[in-house]
Structure 1
Amino acid sequence: MTRANALRWRLLYPLACLSVLAPATALAAPQILAVAATDMPLPLTCEAGECHVELTTICLQEHRASPNPGAGYYVHGERFFDLTGRTETGQDISLAHLPITITAARGHNAVRVAFRQRELTKYGPMEVSLKVPDNLSLIPLPIRDDVNPMTEVEIALATGPQRALASSLVDQNGDRRVEAELLNQVINRLPERGRASDTERAAARASYPEILTNAAISASAKANARQKLEACYTETIAGSLSFRGCLASWHDRLIGKLNTQYWAAAKSGS
């Protein structure tokens, strides 16, 4: 096996909640998800009539299946994303009122937040960014003929004590969470589909130093994320694995390890 193939196999081997190893019940609500808080605003990409961004998530319910790609979610409670647009004159405008869609992107490891680009027409050209506050949870949208619908008791448990535990172990975790956040910053600077051009790859790689100026980050988290970024950049010059796909796989491995720690703590009653 070549070095490139070995890397590809290692990256693509799934790290997930134990529930994804069991057959998923047909037409049943998937897991409630916790969205990891962000230290830095994430840039949205606006193209083809849509603005979108990927966010880091973990599963809060081991007994339910991970969501399939495209499964719909909504934000629970009063907390919401800090969605902001900056005009060409430097004015910041809250866009929290815009109608958004939230869908599973990569199992329980990431969700996709999007809205129609035409919602920005009245503001003129602007850069849009998103920050995630502490303790934000996502509930799956109701499914027709759901054989195991989400109950209010489940929602209260997942978004209450289980979410608080997730915050203490994931949102407040040091290097591993921050490392995943740094990788996600670069992920969101690469094309969502297909292979990035040489120019796009170089621009995403070059954005890393600028990303680091936006938050206080430990030297070890910076170095570890940079090492993975450079490895992915080199290994994806050719072949079927994209730069974004490689970074996403490393991101999911990091979050998967945090998710495993969360479940160990949940089972022990911590």
Structure 2
Amino acid sequence: MRLRIALAVLGFSAAAAQASPQILALLSTDGTVPLYCRGAVCSAELSAFCLERHRATPEAGTPYRAAPNAVLVLVVTGADGSVREIDARGLAQFASVRDMTAVRVSVDRRALGDAARIGIRSGAETALLPVHQERHGPPRLSADTDRVAGPVRAGARGVDGSADAAVARDLARALDILRHDDEAAAVRLAGAAQPVVQACATRVADETARRRETIGVYGHWTGRGIVGAPSLRSCLEEAHASLMTRLNLRFWNGEIPAPAAPRADPRM
């Protein structure tokens, strides 16, 4: 509920009539983020925030593409251990995950030859443009999107350098680990997000125990779980969305000034 109220304060509305949704800022990765591969598709979840408070929040699954001035690098490790770096702009596909606070990046492994491992790295001024769809009406003018992806995104560098951004990055990493490994690994490798992940793990364990006790008294516990039972994943997703929404609010309120000099972009 608090998150929905915060989104309303920002002026976000998924119901804005068929207009093109917000251009998003991709939070800098501060290093290389590993992609997890299933079959030919390798993907990861990355933190994001909106650069246009007057436009609609993207629906889950809204496709995005990297802005022309984005600096995105794929770090590809071959089967022989060799490492190469490739411009990711034409290879990486993006889609909003839950709202404007996270995107999923996907890469077709078959386009990268004998890749054994793949990672992605992004600098502090990367913006994502919504892929135009007929229902959005006429395409936006390039001068408009260039302004948002350029000066507006550059003015948001303070968000990338904030302490909360470090926590958000590690929350996204913990979610990826949780999807592909186990809870113990997610807690152990949470980095700056360790307190948040541990708090969620404790909260979920306590709530699950409480529900089991209640069902033991008032119903029948089958041992196969409880409908609507809390999960570490849902708790972390909510924590990440809340944190990125607060950062977005602070940005729009002018509480996070841009640094005097831009952070170094990743090498191409």
Match of 2:60 in 1: 69
* CA displacement, residues 164-220 of structure 1 (integer Å, 9 cap, x when unaligned): 22113x0122x111111121221121217xxxxxx6111222223xxx5xxxxxxxx
After TM superposition, give the deviation of residue 145 of structure 1 in Å: 4.1
Residue from 252, 255, 260 that aligns with 2:241 = 252
Distance 1:13 1:231 in 2: 22
Could you list the per-position Cα deviations for residues 91-117 of structure 1 after superposition, in whole angstroms to 9, with x for gaps in the alignment? 212243663321111211011110223
Q: Secondary structure at the match of 1:16?
A: helix
Match of 1:242 among 231, 248, 267: 231
| Residues in 2 aligned to 1:147 and 1:161: alpha-carbon distance in whole angstroms | 25
Percent identical pairs in the alignment equals 28
> CA–CA distance in 2 between the matches of 1:248 and 1:40?
22
1:81-134 superposed Cα distances (whole Å, 9 cap, x missing partner): 2211224543212243663321111211011110223334x315x222111112
Alignment of structure 1 residues 179-194 onto 2, 5 Å: 179-191=167-179
**Change over 3 Å in CA distance of 1:88–1:156 after alignment to 2:** closer
Q: Are residues 1:34 and 2:29 paired?
A: no
Quote the residue 2:212 is aligned against: none
Alignment-derived partner of residue 11 in structure 2: 19
- Residue 195 of structure 1 is matched in structure 2 by none
2:98 and 2:164 map into 1 onto residues whose CA distance is 19
When residues 155 and 229 of structure 1 are mapped into structure 2, their CA distance, relative to the original with a 3 A threshold, is same
In 2, Cα distance between equivalents of 1:42 and 1:92: 15
Equivalent of 1:172 in 145, 161, 184: 161
Write the distance in 1 (CA, Å) between the matches of 2:39 and 2:66.
25
Report the equivalent of 1:5: none
How far has the Cα of 1:250 moved from its partner? 1.1
Q: 1:134 — aligned with what? A: 124
RMSD over aligned Cα atoms: 2.5
Residue among 32, 44, 48 paired with 1:53: 44
Whether the aligned pair in 2 keeps the contact of 1:44 and 1:53 (CA below 8 Å) is: yes
What is the identity, as a one-letter code, of the residue corresponding to 1:251? H
Give runs of aligned pairs for residues 114-263 of structure 1, distance below 5 A: 114-120=106-112, 122-123=113-114, 126-147=116-137, 149-168=139-158, 170-173=159-162, 175-191=163-179, 200-208=182-190, 212=191, 222=192, 225-237=193-205, 238=208, 240-263=229-252
Aligned partner letter, 2:25: A
- Given that 1:19 and 1:66 are in contact with CA atoms closer than 8 Å, whether structure 2 keeps it comes out as no
Q: Which runs of 5+ in 1 are unaligned?
A: 1-8, 193-198, 213-221
TM-score by length of 2: 0.77
Distance 1:96 1:243, change over 3 A: farther
Separation in 1 of the partners of 2:172 and 2:135?
A: 35
Q: Deviations over 1:10-45 (max 9, x none)?
A: 6x756436232473212x210011111121321111
Alignment length (residue pairs): 232
SS of match in other structure, 2:178: coil
Secondary structure in 2 matching 1:29 = coil
TM-aligned CA distance change 1:161 to 1:117, over 3 Å: closer
Distance 1:13 1:189 in 2: 27
**Partner residue of 2:102?**
110
Q: Describe the SS at the equivalent of 2:11.
A: helix
Which structure would you say has the larger Rg?
Answer: 2
* Aligned residue identity for 1:252: A
> Does the CA-based 8 Å contact 1:51-1:115 persist in structure 2?
yes
